[in-house]
Amino acid sequence: MTITITAFERSPDGGKGLARDTRVRWALEEVGQPYEVRLVSFHAINEPAHLALHPFGQIPTYEEGDLALFETGSIVFHIAERHAGLLPDDADARARAITWMFAALNTVEPAILELARLPLVEDRVRDRLKQLSARLGSADWLDGGFSAGDLMMVSVLLRLKSSGILDGYPNLAAYVARGEARPAYKRAFDAQLAVYTGEPPTG
Ligand code: GTB
């Protein structure tokens, strides 16, 4: 029976093999099954014809006679079950191979996908800092005298200190330094540090 999978007609990676059709192609190649590929556009994946195959409007899909599958985990598992070469015969070894499939999809891949999102997250942080920097301007504090608003804002910005991101916003770096220089901040900082050092707070 002819196997047909779907893939993007134009993948954002320009052919580096990072789109998920590659793992399905790979599984089919491993077991020596011929297959056809129907290339689809970003527009087409949300059209009714494709949604009938994939309720979430994604690639790849897998068709084999009356059987239509989506989700690469399920597709590769199906291929591995039906054809020799990807799952051991021994029941325990087979269970372990399946465990590694789940580990790849549920434990390792989500963390790697977070990494891909990192540049977007950084852009969002920089947008916020740019807006905050413009608002603070050359003032010492956000709205006249020091307030709980500054206490909270400095506390939040302190998380960025080790990243170096604040260096791009000298007025914000100075704002944070002003907060840290306040005697009350120093007392609070020393008190929390004493929990870990066992030394009594100095202030
Ligand atoms: N859990 C599903 C599975 O394993 O099958 C996930 C499928 C999926 O994310 N498909 C993506 C998709 O169709 C294409 S592969 N996205 C469209 C949408 O969700 O609207 C993901 C992908 C695409 C391109 C690159 N790249 O260029 O680097 C990497 C990964």
Within 13 Å and on the Cβ side, how many CA atoms surround 8? Answer: 16
Ligand 1 centre to CA of 36 (Å) is: 19
In sequence order, the 6+-apart residues with CB closer than 8 A to the CB of 98 are 77, 87
Does any ligand 1 atom lie closer than 6 A to the CB of residue 51?
Answer: no
Atom of ligand 1 nearest to the CA of 105: 4
Atom of ligand 1 nearest to the CA of 12: 27
Confidence (pTM): 0.81
Does any ligand 1 atom lie closer than 6 A to the CB of residue 58?
Answer: yes
Does any ligand 1 atom lie closer than 6 A to the CB of residue 72?
Answer: yes
Q: Rounded CA gap, 152 and 2, in Å?
A: 62
pLDDT tens per residue across all 203 residues of the chain: 999 999 999 988 888 899 999 999 999 999 999 999 999 999 999 999 999 999 999 999 999 999 999 999 999 999 999 999 999 999 999 999 999 999 999 999 999 999 989 999 999 999 999 999 999 999 999 999 999 999 999 999 999 999 999 999 999 999 999 999 999 999 999 999 999 988 776 65
CB environment 39-61: b (16+ within 10 A), e (fewer): ebeeebbeeeebeebbeeebbbb
In sequence order, the 6+-apart residues with CB closer than 8 A to the CB of 200 are 194
* Residue 33 contacts residue 1 (beta carbons within 8 Å): no
Q: What one-character-per-residue DSSP string does 31-77 give? A: HT---EEEEE-TTGGGSHHHHTT-TT--S-EEEETTEEEESHHHHHH
Pocket test for ligand 1, best of 11, 16, 58 (most atoms within 8 A of CB): 58
Nearest CA to ligand 1 atom 17: 58
Structure tokens at 181: 């220089």
* Residue 72 contacts residue 91 (beta carbons within 8 Å): no
